[in-house]
Each structure stands twice: as C-alpha cells, then as structure tokens.
A = this chain, B = another copy of it.
C-alpha cells in the first residue's frame, strides 16, 4: 500500500477523531475508497476501537430515488438512526463513484429525504466526526489532473504538521478576537464587517481533513463595501467565475460574474438570508496551492480569504439563516486582513511571520 494512505489513516484516527479504547467508529465510504478503509481498520484496531463501514454510492442513492415513493422517502430509516446513535466517531470518505449521478433527480425528492433524515444528521454532527477524501479518478478528473498528480495534491494538503498548524491558527483566532471588526482589502476589494460578539473558529483538521481556515459569522447587517472573488467555484454543476459583490447594511446591492452570472443571481435570490454573508474566513493551508473545484480543499488554500452567502454557523454565534451556504474565494497575495487597528495578514505574511 502507498505509505501515504497509511499516514492519512493515522492523521484521521489519531489527530482528527482521536479514537481511543472502546470507541464505536463508523466509516461512511464509497467503494472507491476501499484502500483507505483497509488502512483505517488497522489504525482503529490499534487505538482499541470497533469499526463498521457504511457503503455510500451515488449510483445506489440514485436507484433508490428512482424507485421510492413520497411515502417511502418520509419513512425514517430506523436502522440507520440506531447505528448513528450508537457510535462515538463518524468518519466520512467522499470519493464519488460518479458525482453527477444525482444531477437529474427531482429536487423535491432530495429535499424530502433530507428532511426525513435531519435528526440523524444532527446526531451525526453531535459525535466526533471528520470528512475527508480518498484520491480517485473522478475527483482527479474534476480537478483537471492525473490520478498520480491528484494524490500528490491530496497528501500535500493532509500530511502536514497539524500540531504546528493548529498553534498558528489559534494565534490568528486570538488576535482576531481582540477586535470588534474585520476588513478584507486588495485589488477591487474593500469589505468591512462587524464581528462584535462573534467567535472566530480555528479549523485545525478535527472535522475537515484537510482543513486550515479561521472563520466567523459577521454581524448580519454590518457588511459594507465591495469584493472581487477571483477563484472559480462549482455550484450545482456550473463553474461560476469572477464574482463581484457590493454590500450596503449587510445586503448585496450589486453583483456580477464573469461566467454563469444567472446561476449567481439564482443563489442570491434564494431567500432573505442568501443576500447576506453567513461566513468570513481566512484560508491558511499552504499545502494547497491551487483550486480543484472541490470546496473541502479550495476554501483552505493558503493566502486566500473566502466569504459565504447564506447560512451562518451557530458555533460562531451567527444567526443568518438560509437554505444555501455558498463559499467564494479570493487570493490575497496582494491583499490585507485588518482587524481593528491590527494588520493580521498582509500580502503573503501573517503578523507573526
């Protein structure tokens, strides 16, 4: 086995989910991630846990939606509920068999199923959980790489010194929380928000692997100014690029996109909350140097910031609610992050560098 797969498993078991004696561990995995499943079984066993793997497949999910009535989709999967409640750790390996398999399912069916399973999802998030990927052809293709290149990319982002990264992220968090606001500046960009009463979270690889971001939920009606997001992102099958947003009193008052502007408009018009920012964040993972149209990686690219329209995280004391949470990323090699009177980050360097 590629020794990096074993290292990846160790990072997930030892750092992210801290599996210990007696833990009941669930892995949710596609058939594509079998190799990482094998590596995880050994590490969980070494840590003294018991492990069960749930097989996920977009093709199987699609077949289920094709066959299921509304009544069936309203039926709570009690057996899934039971295993979820009985676990301590939930590890999700997203390596799609085919990430377009659900593209043509009636969205009403997806919404109904998701509503039926929302308590199970809440239970899952109450456990020690972690989301990662195992390099596979479908993700490599989406990233525009060969599988071997994509492996380099994934392990470059995940097999880093998380203890050291964590220390730096907590330092950034601490400095941001000394102030009551934040400003992102740069080419075509000057965006201000109050962060009074909000929490900045240092995402140091416990829930996302890779991680590497410090994020908060800005005060909903305080966002003012303009921002240009130069990094493309994938939204429901469309690649949106070159987004410009202008805010007044927290609301988007002007917007444009160089590509797929109609899709951007649709996002902004979703509901009341989708016109406001639910998240403002700084990407810190310098193991990630390029975008791959996979938000798990892209929002953590080193020397970037990102903002999300829509739903805020309650852990940040955010209150903005929306059916969407859409992240958009800006490279900051020419930009600055300023909190109160302190330069947190300037053109490639944090204050401590």
> Are B50's CB and A80's CB within 8 A?
yes
Q: Which residue of B39, B65, B83 contacts A63 across the interface (Cβ within 8 Å)?
A: B39
At the interface, is chain A mostly helix, strand, loop or mixed? Answer: helix
**Number of residues on chain A facing chain B (CB within 8 A):** 50
CB pair A97 B67 closer than 8 Å: no
Complex: A23 Cα to B183 Cα, angstroms:
55
A49 at interface by CB-CB < 8 Å: yes
Of B44, B45, B83, B97, which is within 8 A of A79 by CB? Answer: B83
Does residue A102 face the partner (Cβ distance < 8 Å to B)?
A: no
A41 to B64, CA, bound (A): 5
User: Is A281 in contact with chain B by the CB < 8 A criterion?
Assistant: no
Question: Contact partner of A54 among B42, B46, B49, B55, CB < 8 A?
Answer: B55
- The reply to whether A34 and B34 form a contact with Cβ atoms under 8 Å apart is no
Q: Is A348 an interface residue (CB 8 A)?
A: no
One digit per residue, 1 when the CB lies within 8 angstroms of any chain B CB and 0 when it does not, for chain A 22-54 equals 101010010100100111011111101111111
Structural contact, A86 and B81, CB atoms closer than 8 A: yes
Show the binding face of A for B, using Cβ within 8 Å.
21-22, 24, 26, 29, 31, 34, 37-39, 41-46, 48-55, 57, 59-61, 63-69, 71-72, 75-83, 85-87, 97
